[in-house]
């Protein structure tokens, strides 16, 4: 361990110890944000890697059959959290990840594409990152870090909301919820084009673009541009993988051909067994079979072959991401920066189940063909092809958890979290400490020696962070950062949860959910198979009351009657598509009307004159 | 022949009106057709104000010419479009702008159509 690494460790340890017992700090302003007195060059580089829609057991070190050697190596050089939770939807998770503030207060209670008009009337329900929060990038930049970002942003696409205005010095960013991985092309009709920006300006992707490779190339380019100046860097690398459209190079797909021929039930069971072996979930963990999981045996051979290929493309996309993360790690090793770099890897939410159960259904074919995509077996996942995984395989990707993306079940909220680095004293350790996405920014700040702002920053009021640094777990023998009485609430589009100790109350809306609160011990029963609400009524009521307080404190709005996030997405897409043409048509008619009337009057006048 | 000419002028006027209204209502969709990236602040104000006024004026003058039967209403759009085409060529010659043949050609063609209309269509009192 080199001197820089040791001093970074000591510094982080000291800060962590302080953070673990800290009372609320005094208000500070930007000028007085605490940078340690240690020379900035001794502070660690930080690489924050975010996968998109990665399921709980999609990594080899969490029980997957997918080959992810780079992330396994990182897991062996740090701590893997098995009880880490995020928001089960993209932008709210990213807002909390980068600010440490609840998504409702940060302005992103849902993705803008799914907000109802009634909700949009409220300033904090715009689905874009508010100016009342400070990003970790801003805090690090203001204290001497180089700050870079390459990947999906999805926290606002207007000039003042782009990452270049939110603390990132160099950026190449996708503003949308997703896009094609092979070319600059939208993936849903909501967008006219894939909106990429570089350093705040519109950006055209290169011809040889493949998302994971390109984003790592840009990250290396950014890091390399300032490497000699002794300042540490913060690199945020939010991959497009494995968001739809699921696409991967053929060489990464090939090893998985045939691997999924046994179907989703076999895969879900295999992953559970492996996760138990690895200690990711407790032995005997029960599971719930989702109602959206189809009967594999009932499918004809052709359909099974196609479904297995869909999952093979997905696996190939995960492995391609891992491969390119490996290139970044190799680069840092070659440049002598690996030893002083802290890596954080996680996913924005659980596995995505929006792919059609039946890929031949009309709506699905219409959607992909209207965008000019093919869905044929031979080219699935390659350039010009549109692939997804069905809810059945998504449930296997989340194995052994229930539900998936968008839902407050563990399959939507519990994802891998690996914190690794040479400086960490714990190697290859599993932590069962409950942790939440709002903890990432405080953790980064504690390692960087930066004190979080309290109520003001840069001369304006800001929302204080609610997350807690995970440094005590990473650096000491501490088993948890949240006490048994601490609560963490969550809500998105009416799906809701509250965590307290080992317990969680959860509300999943219909049609997939059952529109009622349930209580689970998520440590003993991560699969949420045994509802304890009637067995522990006292705890259940306490947690319901705590959830009510959470909604008041975080200005959670009730969902509009009849709201359904998928219908709202379709409605918003239609609205975006027809609103402008309709308005132009109305105004055109209003403009033409006087001319029409004048013309008629003139003709009538001429006729009268002739008669 | 005159009926065809009138119909052509009517369609062109509606096209200009739609373009002007799109600049007012949804400039992001129409700006790229003119090689423009939307600015912000005063820049955006000028882009929306100037471009919408340009196209709405073209459409309104042409419609007024058709309805009133007075050929003098053809002259403002002829002058506007001709000057635009000349301006584009000068931008290419003097300021290293692209030679926007795709835009210059329609401007000249429409100017000629309007000139013909002003000559051929009967003047009404």
In a domain? residue B10: yes
Q: Which residue of B has its CA nearest to A160?
A: B40
Helices (H) and strands (E) in chain B, counts: 5, 0
CA A26 centroid distance within chain = 32
pLDDT band at B125 (very low <50, low <70, confident <90, very high): low
Q: Which of A584, A591, A602 sits opposite B25 (nearest CB)?
A: A584
Residue A131: pLDDT above 80?
yes
Bridge partners of A420, per DSSP, are: A78, A343
Tally the domains of chain B.
Answer: 1
Q: What is the mean pLDDT of residues B45-72?
A: 94
Task: Measure the CA–CA gap between A199 and A517, rounded to whole angstroms.
Answer: 45
Interface size between A and B, measured as CB pairs under 8 A:
41
Amino acid B26: pLDDT:
86
CA distance A431 to A418: 10
Q: Is A168 within a domain?
A: yes
Within a domain: residue B72? yes
Q: What's the pLDDT score for residue A362?
A: 60
Average pLDDT over residues A113-119: 89
Average pLDDT over residues B27-40: 85
Q: Higher confidence at residue A230 or residue B20?
A: B20
Answer whether residue A21 is part of any domain.
Answer: yes
Contact assessment for residue A456 and residue A432, using Cβ atoms and an 8 Å cutoff = no
Q: What is the CATH number of the domain that holds A378?
A: 3.40.720.10
Name chain A contacts of B22, Cβ cutoff 8 Å.
580, 584
| pLDDT category of residue A14 using cuts at 50, 70 and 90 | very low
Closest among A107, A3, A7 to A449, alpha carbons compared: A7
For residue B88, give how far its alpha carbon lies from the nearest alpha carbon of chain A (Å): 24
Per-residue confidence (pLDDT) for residue A611, from 0 to 100: 74
Interchain contact A578–B (C-beta under 8 A): no
pLDDT at A6 over 60: no
| pLDDT confidence band for A365 (50 / 70 / 90) | low
Of residues A31 and A79, more confidently modeled: A79
Q: Is A91 exposed, middle or buried (0-12, 13-18, 19+ CB in 10 A)?
A: buried
Q: Which of A430, A455, A482 is the last residue of a domain?
A: A482
- Considering only CB atoms, A595 lies closest to which of B26, B67, B69, namely B67
CA distances from A188 to A51, A146, A577, B26 (A): 20, 34, 12, 20
Is the same domain home to A387 and A253? yes
Q: Which two tokens stand for residue A464?
A: 């204080």
Give the residue-averaged pLDDT of A252-259. Answer: 98
Of B14, B26, B68, the CB nearest to A580: B26
Name the phi and psi angles at A545, rounded to 5. -65, -40
Specify the pLDDT at position A326.
98
- The secondary structure of residue A226, as a DSSP letter, is T
**Which residues form the domain of A441?**
3-482
Asked whether A84 and A56 are in contact (CB, 8 A), the reply is no
For tokens 């920014």, what's the residue?
Answer: A441
Whether the predicted pLDDT of A37 surpasses 70? no
Contacts of A580 in chain B (CB under 8 A): 22, 25-26, 29
d(CA A246, CA A317): 7
Nearest residue in chain A measured CA to CA from B23: A584
Kindly report, residue by residue over A320-357, the tens digit of the pLDDT. Answer: 999 999 999 999 999 999 999 999 999 999 999 988 88
The single-letter DSSP state of residue B31 is G
pLDDT in tens, A444-474: 999 999 999 988 999 999 999 999 999 999 9
Tell me whether residue A541 is in a domain: no
- The residues in A 140-169 lying below 8 A from B, measured between CB atoms, are 159
Contacts of B67 in chain A (CB under 8 A): 595, 598-599, 602
Domain end point (choices A462, A482, A502): A482
Residues of A annotated catalytic, as ranges? 90, 154
Look at residue A376 and tell me if it is in a domain. Answer: yes
Global confidence as pTM: 0.81
Nearest-CA distance from A354 to chain B in Å? 29
pLDDT at site A217: 98
Q: With CB atoms and an 8 Å threshold, state whether B40 touches A159.
A: yes
Instruction: Give the residue on B whose Cα is nearest the Cα of A593.
Output: B63
Cβ atoms A386, A245 nearer than 8 A: yes
A597 contacts chain B (CB < 8 A)? no
Q: Taking CB atoms and an 8 Å cutoff, what residues of chain A touch B68?
A: 598, 602
Nearest by CB to A580, which of B25, B37, B64?
A: B25
Of A202, A584, A588, nearest to B37 by CB-CB distance is A202
Share of chain A above pLDDT 70, in %: 92
Q: Where are the alpha helices (DSSP H) in A201-350?
A: 211-225, 250-253, 264-278, 301-334
Q: Which of A159, A162, A575, A591 to mutate to test the interface with B (most CBs of B within 10 A)?
A: A591
Please say if the pLDDT value at position A94 is more than 90.
Answer: yes
**Does A513 have pLDDT greater than 70?**
yes
Query: CA dist A441 to A16, A165, A240, A317, A327, Å?
Result: 13, 18, 21, 27, 25
Q: Of all helices (H) and strands (E), which one includes residue A136?
A: helix A136-141
What confidence tier does A364 reach under pLDDT thresholds 50, 70, 90?
low
B59 part of a folded domain: yes
Place of tokens 């007075």: B70
Inside any domain, residue B15? yes
Mean pLDDT of all residues in A498-521 = 96
> Of A482, A509, A529, at which residue does a domain stop?
A482
- Residue A395's nearest CA partner among A56, A153, A167, A82 is A56
A137 occurs within a structural domain:
yes
pLDDT tens column, A572-596: 888 877 888 888 999 999 999 989 9
Residue A567, in any domain of the structure: no
Count: domains in chain A: 2
Please report whether residue A173 resides in a domain.
yes
Nearest-Cα residue of chain B relative to residue A587? B21
| Chain B positions touching chain A (beta carbons under 8 Å) | 14, 17-18, 21-22, 24-26, 29, 37, 40, 56, 59-60, 63-64, 66-69
Could you tell me if residue B74 is inside a domain? yes
Position B25 in a domain: yes
Nearest alpha-carbon partner for A91 in A320, A356, A405: A405
Cβ-proximal residues to A16 (8 Å cutoff; 6+ apart), any chain: A446, A469, A471, A472, A474, A475, A476
Question: Distance (Å, rounded) from C-alpha A12 to C-alpha A6?
Answer: 10
Do A263 and A376 form a contact (C-beta atoms < 8 A)? no
For residue A574, the model assigns a pLDDT of: 83
- Do the domain assignments include residue B86? yes
Tell me whether residue B125 is in a domain. Answer: no
Lowest mean pLDDT among A107-111, A391-395, B15-19, B40-44: B40-44
Q: Is A584 an interface residue toward B (CB < 8 Å)?
A: yes
A599 contacts B66? CB cut-off 8 A: yes
Buried b (16+ CB within 10 A) or exposed e, A195-205: bbbbeeeebeb
The range of the structural domain enclosing residue B104 comes to 2-120
Q: Is the peptide bond before A310 cis (omega within 30 degrees of 0)?
A: no
State whether A584 and B18 contact (CB < 8 Å). Answer: yes
The residue of chain A with its CA nearest to that of B66 is A599
The average pLDDT across A160-186 equals: 96
- How many angstroms separate the Cα of A178 from the Cα of each of A171, A242, A407, A465? 17, 10, 19, 28
């Amino acid at each position: 361990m080199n001197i820089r690494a040791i001093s970074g460790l000591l510094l982080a340890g000291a800060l962590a110890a302080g953070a673990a017992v800290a009372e609320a700090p005094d208000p500070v302003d930007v000028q007085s944000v605490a940078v340690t007195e240690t020379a900035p060059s001794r502070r660690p580089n930080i690489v924050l890697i975010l996968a998109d829609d990665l399921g709980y057991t999609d990594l080899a070190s969490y029980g997957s059959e997918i080959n992810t050697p780079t992330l396994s190596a990182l897991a062996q050089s740090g701590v893997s959290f098995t009880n880490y939770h995020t928001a089960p939807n993209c932008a709210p998770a990213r807002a909390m990840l980068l600010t440490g503030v609840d998504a409702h207060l940060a302005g992103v209670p849902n993705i803008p594409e799914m907000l109802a008009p009634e909700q949009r009337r409220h300033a904090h329900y715009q689905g874009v990152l508010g100016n009342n929060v400070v990003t970790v990038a801003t805090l690090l930049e203001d204290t001497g870090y180089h700050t870079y970002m390459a990947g999906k942003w999805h926290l606002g696409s207007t000039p003042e909301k782009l990452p270049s205005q939110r603390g990132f010095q160099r950026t190449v960013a996708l503003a949308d919820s997703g896009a094609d991985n092979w070319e600059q092309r939208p993936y849903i009709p909501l967008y006219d084009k894939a909106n990429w920006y570089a350093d705040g300006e519109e950006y055209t992707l290169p011809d040889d673009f493949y998302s994971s490779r390109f984003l790592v190339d840009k990250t290396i380019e950014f890091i390399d541009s300032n490497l000699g100046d002794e300042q540490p860097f913060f690199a945020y690398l939010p991959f497009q993988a494995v968001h739809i459209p699921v696409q991967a190079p053929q060489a990464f797909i090939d090893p998985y051909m045939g691997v999924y021929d046994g179907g989703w039930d076999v895969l879900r069971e295999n992953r559970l067994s492996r996760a138990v072996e690895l200690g990711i979930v407790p032995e005997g963990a029960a599971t719930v079979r989702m109602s959206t999981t189809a009967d594999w045996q009932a499918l004809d051979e052709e359909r099974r072959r196609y479904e297995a290929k869909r999952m093979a493309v997905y696996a190939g996309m995960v492995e391609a991401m891992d491969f390119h993360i490996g290139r970044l790690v190799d680069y840092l090793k070659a440049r002598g920066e690996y030893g002083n770099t802290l890596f954080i890897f996680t996913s924005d939410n659980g596995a995505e189940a929006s792919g059609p159960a039946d890929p031949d259904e009309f709506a699905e074919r219409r959607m992909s063909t209207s965008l000019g995509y093919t869905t044929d077996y031979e080219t699935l996942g390659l350039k010009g092809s549109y692939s997804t995984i069905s809810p059945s395989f998504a449930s296997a990707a989340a194995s052994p958890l229930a539900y998936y993306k968008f839902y407050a079940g563990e399959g939507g909220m519990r994802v891998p979290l690996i914190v690794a680095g040479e400086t960490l004293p714990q190697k290859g350790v599993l932590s069962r400490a409950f942790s939440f996405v709002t903890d990432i920014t405080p953790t980064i700040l504690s390692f960087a020696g930066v004190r979080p702002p309290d109520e003001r920053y840069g001369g304006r009021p800001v929302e204080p962070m609610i997350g807690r640094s995970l440094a005590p777990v990473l650096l000491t023998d501490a088993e948890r950062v949240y006490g048994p009485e601490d609560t963490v609430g969550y809500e998105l589009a009416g799906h809701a949860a509250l965590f307290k100790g080992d317990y969680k109350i959860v509300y999943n809306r219909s049609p997939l959910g059952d529109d009622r609160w349930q209580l689970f011990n998520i440590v003993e029963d991560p699969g949420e198979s045994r509802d304890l609400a009637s067995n522990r009524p006292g705890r259940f009521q306490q947690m319901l009351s705590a959830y009510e307080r959470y909604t008041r404190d975080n200005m959670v709005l009730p969902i509009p009657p009849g709201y359904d996030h998928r219908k709202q997405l379709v409605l918003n897409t239609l609205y975006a598509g027809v609103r402008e043409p309709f308005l132009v048509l109305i105004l055109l008619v209003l403009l033409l009307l006087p001319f029409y009337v004048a013309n008629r009057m003139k003709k009538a006048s001429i006729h009268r004159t002739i008669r | 022949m005159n009926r065809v000419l009138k119909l052509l002028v009517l369609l062109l006027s509606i096209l200009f009106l739609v373009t002007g209204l799109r600049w007012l209502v949804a400039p992001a969709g129409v700006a790229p057709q003119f090689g423009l990236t939307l600015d912000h602040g005063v820049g955006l104000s000028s882009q929306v104000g100037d471009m919408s006024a340009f196209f709405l004026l073209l459409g309104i003058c042409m419609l007024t010419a058709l309805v009133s039967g007075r050929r003098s209403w053809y002259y403002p759009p002829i002058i506007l479009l001709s000057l635009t085409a000349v301006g584009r060529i000068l931008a290419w010659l003097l300021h290293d702008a692209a030679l926007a043949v795709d835009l210059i050609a329609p401007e000249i063609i429409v100017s000629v159509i309007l000139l013909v209309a002003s000559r051929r269509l009967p003047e009404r009192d």
